Amino acid sequence: MEKLLQVERLETEFTKDKQKLKILHGVNFHIHKGEVLGLVGESGSGKSITSLSIMKLFKGTSGKISNGTIRFNGQDLTNQSEAAMRKIRGKQIAMIFQEPMTSLNPVMKIGEQLLEPIRLHLGFDAKKAKEHAISILKKVGIPRAEEIMSEYPHQLSGGMRQRIMIAMAISCHPQLLIADEPTTALDVTIQAQILDVMKQLQEKETMSMLLITHDLGVVAEMCDRVVVMYAGKVVEEADVFDLFESPKHPYTIGLIGSVPKLGHKKEKLDSIKGNVPNPGALPKGCKFAPRCDAVMPICHQEEPPESSFENGQSCSCWLYQEERRGIGV
């Protein structure tokens, strides 16, 4: 399969109190054309910063990409000017944010916000742009689409606002859709409807999708492959079936073990002890070592290299480095 997006050795940093704080540490992954890739991990793992790095959405912050490449259709986005990125955002790469009430402009009507990218990127006149906008609203399951064009975000429910965000994101037929926790603020029933809309649109438009979530149930339902992040690094990558059938990294095993399962009666759910470390105070060696039940002395000394498996799965853990396991154990 042809790769649409290739992220290699990505490092992103922010400046705080004149000190540089590195958030991403050599992130590597790719997305094939027409594929849904899940990016999972706890809050603070670096998932959202990864998506903002791809879009180069650092305006008003001290964030910047300090190393690595982000190739989209063979073109390195890290070298693109802000003017060039504005042409790419919305048309070729679109993004759905997790809270539509803060993403939509509260003082602009829905129609104005929806028409802006359509006219900018597709060059339609006013009549054609409006027809296209209404057809997109209907496509994402919004009733009385023409009336809603004249309404404000606060007049709509959370589920309807999220559908508006999806409509805006797909209005210019992007090749890649980045969805950052798209259903977090919604109740379970509406979540299922939104995910169903997204899946149908992704398949119909043959879009690639980067789905950022901490919900492994969503991953199992939506994704083809999964990348697991921890403390700004990728610790495991696998086909979605292999990840749930045979997780390799202790962190992945912990995440899957903490999900409640039907038919399994437990007084207390499994959990991973401790918390994701502060980016400014990362432990030496493997960043997961302080929380890991399988920790060895070498884990506190050196970062583990990546191990590859026959099924295409990969994992960064000393447990799978047989030739080094005698060192410091």
Enumerate helices (H) and strands (E) in the chain, giving the number of each. Answer: 11, 12
SS (H, E, C) 265-296: CCCCCCCCCCCCCCCCCCCCCCCCHHHCCCCC
Tell me how many domains the chain contains: 2
Q: Are 12 and 63 members of one domain?
A: yes
Q: What is residue 328's predicted lDDT score, i.e. its pLDDT?
A: 46
CB 50 within 8 A of CB 58: no
123 plus 137 within the same structural domain? yes
**Looking at the domain assignment, is residue 183 inside a domain?**
yes
pLDDT at 263 (0 to 100): 60
| Residue 82, domain extent | 3-92+174-269
Q: Under DSSP, is residue 165 helix (H, G, I), strand (E, B) or coil?
A: helix
Are both 229 and 256 inside the same structural domain? yes
Same domain, 150 and 205: no
pLDDT band at 187 (very low <50, low <70, confident <90, very high): confident
Tell how strand 3-16 and strand 176-180 pair up: unpaired
> Does any domain span residue 49?
yes
Q: Name the 3-class secondary structure at 322.
A: helix
Looking at the structure, tell me whether residues 182 and 167 fall in a common domain: no
**CB of 277 closer than 8 Å to CB of 288:** no
Q: Are residues 178 and 85 in the same domain?
A: yes
List, for residues 296-329, the tens digit of each pLDDT value. Answer: 999 999 999 999 999 999 999 999 986 555 544 4
Q: Are residues 236 and 221 in the same domain?
A: yes
Single out the residue of 203, 233, 228 nearest to residue 213, CA to CA. 228
CATH number for the domain that contains residue 262: 3.40.50.300
In a domain, 276, yes or no: no
Whole-model pTM? 0.92
Helical ranges in 30-155 per DSSP H: 47-55, 82-88, 100-103, 110-122, 126-139, 145-148
16 and 144 in a single domain? The answer is: no
CA 230 to chain centre: 13
Residue 41 inside a domain? The answer is yes
58 and 190 together in one domain = yes
Contacts 24+ apart (CB under 8 A), 161-164: 161/100, 161/101, 161/104, 162/96, 162/100, 162/186, 162/190, 162/194, 163/137, 163/194, 163/197, 164/100, 164/104, 164/110, 164/113, 164/114, 164/137, 164/140
pLDDT value of residue 18: 84
Q: Specify if 147 maps to a domain.
A: yes
What's the pLDDT band for 98 if we cut at 50, 70, 90?
confident
Q: pLDDT for 3-36, tens place per residue?
A: 999 999 999 999 988 889 999 999 999 999 999 9
Among 151, 172, 193, the domain boundary falls at: 172
Q: Which of 172, 201, 225 is the last residue of a domain?
A: 172
Please indicate, yes or no, if residue 22 is contained in any of the structural domains: yes
User: Could you tell me if residue 324 is inside a domain?
Assistant: no
Give the whole-angstrom CA distance, residue 27 versus residue 64.
15
Tens of pLDDT along 197-224? 999 999 998 999 999 998 898 999 999 9
Res 264: pLDDT: 57
Indicate the pLDDT class of residue 103, thresholds 50, 70 and 90.
Answer: confident
195 lies in the same domain as 77: yes
Look at residue 150 and tell me if it is in a domain.
Answer: yes
Domain end among 123, 148, 172:
172
